[in-house]
Amino acid sequence: MNTLTMAGNPSRTLPSTVQNTGPAVATLLAVALEVPDGGLDHRVDLAAVALRPAGETFAVVGSFRCLLHAGMPAALIAEHCRLPLEQVTDRTPVAVALSMLDRHLAAPPYRILAHQAAALRTVIARHADQCPAVNAAELVDTTLLARRLLAQRCPPDLASLAAHLGVTITPRVARTVRDAALTGAIYAHLHRIGPGAEQSPAGSAATHRRPVRGDRADTPQPQFTIVAGRVVRRGRAA
């Protein structure tokens, strides 16, 4: 099963048709990849939320989900994924899912956001020939970004980090879609704290902690919510 829907956009414009406003402005793709116990060669659940800069915040302009498992007939996969039969025959679910995502990325540049991105980085490299646009995109690990900005105050997992930053999503959605939305909202929050921090060399933690709203651990943090196609802060557009 896979779905491709647009949040808050009745025209259902695909992310690939959203025109970038300048060569340096990237469309953000917050991506979540579920790795099942049997491995990605047997099942894949891949979700993405597309965001574009909108003033001082980011607007949700599209969403994507692909859920596939081994044993599904190739003809059925091709029909649901809208891919040529030869692109799905004898290919693993994760390879097909990346191909499906890639076909929508026709307006570069893109910046991919992922939390604990090692698994995603590995599968993109493994299937680079089937997802050239995804492979060409910059990949930002929000885990490392949070460590640079929050240092010892950075929780290790996505849910704990979201709770620490006051990030929630509504309404209830599939887990991978929720995780992609949380990743996007966390990035938006971290971007407000330290714009440009994602351009630091990968894997190099900051040697000092940047201040967070007064630089006090007990200072209330702003609340962020994904709702109605926007990242919302304290009930209004962030």
pLDDT tens over the chain, length 238 residues: 333 222 322 223 334 434 444 445 789 999 999 988 877 778 999 999 999 988 878 888 989 999 998 888 999 988 888 888 988 888 889 999 999 999 989 888 999 999 999 999 999 999 999 999 999 999 999 999 999 888 877 887 999 999 988 888 776 788 999 999 999 999 998 988 876 655 544 333 332 233 333 333 333 444 344 433 444 443 333 3
Domain holding 108, by residue range, is 2-237
* Nearest partner of 49 among 187, 217, 154, judged by Cα: 187
152 and 209 in contact (C-beta within 8 Å)? yes
Model pTM score: 0.74
* Nearest partner of 40 among 159, 122, 138, judged by Cα: 122
What one-character-per-residue DSSP string does 157-217 give? SHHHHHHHHTEEE-S---HHHHHHHHHHHHHHHHHHHSTTGGGSPTT---SSPPP-TTT-T
Distance CA 60, CA 6 (A): 9
DSSP assignment letter at 153: G
Q: How many domains does the chain have?
A: 1
CATH of the domain at 78: 3.30.420
Q: What is the pLDDT of residue 180?
A: 95
> Is the peptide bond prior to 23 cis by the omega test (within 30 degrees of 0)?
no
